[in-house]
Amino acid sequence: MVDQPPLFDDDTVTGPDLELAVHRGAIAPPVADRWLEALLHEVPWRQDHVVVFGRRSPIPRLQAWIGDPGRRYAYSGIELEPQPWTPTLTAVRELVTGLAGTPANSVLCNLYRDGHDSVAWHADDEPELGPEPVIASVSLGATRRFQLRRRDDPDERRDLELRHGDVIVMSGPTQRAWLHRIPRTATSVGRRVNLTFRTILDQPDRASSRDDAHEATSRTHGTG
């Protein structure tokens, strides 16, 4: 049996080349409740598919790409044109900017409908994000486990529970050195909305891409 890594709380998540700030309850419960309900209706959720080894399969969650004009995003054959900012996402972006210390021009929205929805091991390391991107991840709804592991040492792990109203900020060399995921759970859980704010740099005529084999082993994308 593989030992489970300890759960971390507050701002105690540390490790080599790991810059991760945990802001517990950054969004007050009444505001988090209101934003969750609004986002379920405001965001243009879509079911995307990936082709892995010739087989077309749905990714295990719903998603939407919101951003400033021209901030396109693409991975594993999925083309995401930025949809306009909604009133609620604009409000969340203002809060996140204060926590992250840098503005974001786009956000990947993920809707985990129940414990069967997940995102596989991956890093947010696309070229258009730059060498040391700042990723601010907002959790609304059901509590889910967020896991990290070193790229060069899978036994080097960190686990933490992300709760309603929590915000984490990953920065520095984190994406180069660590992978992260939201695993499936057999526990009965409700809906969770995850918002991962980031900045897409200017890279004319270049889109992010991942080959299908890498997709199968490391991601169907989303952050957490």
pLDDT, tens digit (0-9, with 9 covering 90-100), for 79-117: 899 999 999 999 999 999 999 999 999 999 999 999 999
- Cβ pair 197, 135 in contact under 8 A: yes
The 3-state DSSP class for residue 98 equals helix
> What is the pLDDT at residue 2?
39
- Which among 200, 67, 181 is positioned nearest to 126, based on CA atoms? 200
* pLDDT averaged over 10-residue windows placed end to end, the chain, 224 residues: 47 88 96 98 96 90 97 82 98 97 97 97 92 98 98 96 97 97 97 97 56 41 70
Overall pTM > 0.85? yes
Is the alpha carbon torsion for 184, 80, 217, 53 positive or negative? positive
pLDDT mean across residues, the chain? 88
Q: What are the structural domains, with CATH classification, of the chain?
A: 19-218 (2.60.120.590)
Q: Percentages helix, strand, coil for the chain, rounded to the nearest 5?
A: 20, 35, 45
